[in-house]
DNA sequence: CCTGCGATGTGATGTATGTCACATAATTAA
DNA sequence: TTAATTATGTGACATACATCACATCGCAGG
């Protein structure tokens, strides 16, 4: 499915747009192609876009002072990603986004999103619900962090997104779970 | 400040409503008073409201199988709280909300929120931004969990919300930080 | 087809935090 | 005020996970 159809179908689950409204909405997006390993947002960048993933897999991650990486989010087809903190507070990026595989994304400028939200009530409705879902997912992950040990979180992740198992290297899975690659290795090989 | 003024001022930071629109909006809220220790949402309840805190302090928390408590959110004046997972997925509550101190809250039914969002574009705008902020805060807390040890998270919490120090017992602070009360006690008394 | 580097496995050891047990201080209820 | 409950402190010990060091494996580029 191409990006336009994918986005149309994605939005129609939450909001009702006429064909003309959708075409107008879609006209604000730019299709970008990236190769595996390419960077989309770097720490320190001015962030003014968010991204709807058409194909491939991205990661949004944070690098701490000890150069350890923590993955905030994997983003696959129909997922949205950006540095929402920077985007919302108009500050510089503190997280990075890059490509785990070759990827195609639809880029929407923040100013355009706000314009579209103001112009088309249903677009604002869509973004409210999208963020709702993100918020709930984020709270669930937080709870999982507090309540479950690394093994349980690993199993939970693979239950929720089995496609990740073959798609992303294990040291990235570890970085998502908040543990080291060594510990992850020991979890599924006995001890 | 009374609840109506507080809510009006709170909303005006994000959305522009006429006085008539605000009065109509406000007419959907119910003022409720609770005593310290009273429960607002219990696990298993049907959840159909969210709450705007006028005064006092609430906690939203999860109890695991070992009867250990994890606090998802403290909620003080001008904060919103509920079991948003249950609210949006129309499922039963998996978290609890109760009162750390005597509290006054404004209750908004989910059905009314959706109605108001559909009727008044600026109301939908307000709720989109409110959830945005919640989402960003939740991601920050997630990062803090992965990147910082308990001591740093404790200092971070007190920097962000110094009023909590005198307001809530330390075992609740521990439950928010995801550690035991013993560990928290050892953090600020030297070892 | 090499060659080199990124990804993974595994042992030895260190450390933060949990668990359990008990003492004491501070609130709340009667 | 007294009694009961809840909150807090502290020691001894257990455990999950990190760290560091090194070995192996597999794949990508020259």
Q: Which nucleotides of D are covered by protein (CB under 7 A)?
A: 6-12, 16-21
Mean pLDDT value across residues A124-148: 97
How far apart are alpha carbons A91 and B107 in whole angstroms?
34
The pLDDT of B116-133, averaged and rounded, is 98
Chain B's closest residue to A69, CA to CA, is: B147
- What does residue A69 show for φ and ψ, rounded to 5 degrees? -100, 135
Write the pLDDT tens digit of every residue in A49-73.
999 999 999 999 999 999 999 999 9
From CA B142, how far away is CA B30, in angstroms rounded?
Answer: 33
* Nucleotide whose C1' lies closest to the alpha carbon of residue B148: C16
Which pLDDT score is estimated for A91? Answer: 96
Mean pLDDT of A95-120: 97
Contact A142 B140 (CB under 8 A): no
Q: In which band, very low, low, confident or very high, does the pLDDT at B191 lie, cut at 50, 70 and 90?
A: low
Cβ atoms of B84 and B11 within 8 Å: the answer is no
**CB-to-strand D contacts below 7 angstroms:** A 66, 68, 149-151, 178-180, 182-183; B 169-172, 181-182, 184-186, 189
Per-residue pLDDT band at A191 (split at 50, 70, 90): low
Which residues of chain A does B84 touch, with a Cβ-Cβ cutoff of 8 Å?
132, 135-136, 139
Is A70 within 8 Å of B147 when comparing Cβ atoms?
yes
Count of beta carbons in the 10 Å neighbourhood of residue A70 = 18
Task: Read off the pLDDT band of B129 (50, 70, 90).
Answer: very high
Query: Choosing among B59, B143, B144, B172, which should be mutated to test the A contact, i.e. which has the most A CBs within 10 A?
Result: B143
For position A30, what pLDDT does the model report? 98
Q: Looking at the DSSP assignment, which residues form a beta bridge with residue A58? A: A75, A99
| pLDDT over 70 at A7, yes or no | yes
Element (H, E) at A181: helix A181-188
Q: B189 pLDDT band (50/70/90 cuts)?
A: confident
Q: What is the mean pLDDT of residues B150-174?
A: 96
**Residue whose entry in the numeric block shows the structure tokens 């909006």:** B25
Bridge partners of B97, per DSSP, are: B41, B60
Q: Over range B112-125, report the average pLDDT.
A: 98
Q: What b/e sequence results for B109-118 when a residue is b if at least 16 CB atoms lie within 10 Å of its CB, and e otherwise? A: ebebbeebbe
Mean pLDDT of B186-191: 82
**Nearest CA among A183, A98, A85 for reference residue A134:** A85
Closest CA to B54 of B96, B6, B125, B93: B6
pLDDT of B56 strictly over 80: yes
- B127 near A CB under 8 A: yes
- Asked if A70 is an interface residue toward chain B (Cβ–Cβ < 8 A), one would say yes
Share of chain B above pLDDT 70, in %: 99
| Among A43, A127, A124, CA closest to A86 | A43
**Does residue A127 sit at the B interface (CB-CB below 8 Å)?**
yes
The whole-angstrom separation of Cα A94 and Cα A11 is 29
Q: Calculate Rg over the CA atoms of chain A.
A: 18
Q: Please report the pLDDT score of residue B95 as a whole number.
A: 96
- On whether any CB of chain B is under 8 Å from the CB of A27, the answer is no
Calculated CA dihedral for residues A167, A170, A176, A179, nearest 10 degrees: 170
Segment holding A60, helix H or strand E: strand A58-63
Interface test with A, best of B86, B131, B174 (most A CBs within 10 A): B131
- pLDDT over 70 (residue B141): yes
Nearest to A40 by CA among A28, A22, A52, A29: A52
Taking the C-alpha atoms of residue B10 and residue B57, their distance in angstroms, rounded to an integer, is 17
Q: Is the model more confident about A190 or about A25? A: A25
CATH class of residue range B3-118: mainly beta
Give A141 CA → C13 C1' in Å: 32
Let me know how long chain B is: 191
Judged by a CB distance cut-off of 8 A, whether residue B126 touches chain A is no
pTM: 0.96
Instruction: Report whether pLDDT(B190) > 80.
Output: no
CB contact under 8 A, B139 and A138: yes
In angstroms, rounded to a whole number, what is the distance separating the alpha carbons of residues B76 and B56?
A: 6
């Amino acid at each position: 499915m191409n990006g336009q159809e994918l986005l149309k179908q994605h939005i129609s689950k939450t909001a009702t747009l006429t064909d003309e409204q959708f075409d107008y909405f879609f006209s604000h997006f730019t299709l970008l192609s990236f190769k595996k390993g390419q960077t989309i947002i770097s720490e320190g960048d001015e962030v003014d876009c968010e991204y709807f993933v058409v194909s491939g897999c991205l990661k949004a991650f944070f690098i701490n002072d000890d150069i350890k990486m923590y993955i905030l989010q994997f983003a696959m087809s129909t997922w949205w990603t950006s540095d929402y903190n920077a985007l919302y507070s108009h500050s510089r990026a503190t997280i990075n986004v890059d490509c785990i595989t070759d990827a195609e994304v639809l880029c929407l400028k923040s100013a355009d999103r706000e314009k579209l939200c103001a112009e088309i009530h249903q677009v604002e409705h869509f973004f409210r619900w999208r963020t709702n879902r993100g918020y709930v997912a984020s709270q669930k992950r937080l709870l999982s962090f507090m309540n479950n040990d690394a093994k349980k979180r690993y199993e939970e992740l693979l239950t929720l997104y089995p496609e990740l198992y073959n798609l992303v290297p294990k040291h990235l899975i570890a970085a998502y779970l908040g543990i080291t690659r060594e510990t992850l290795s020991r979890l599924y090989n006995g001890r």
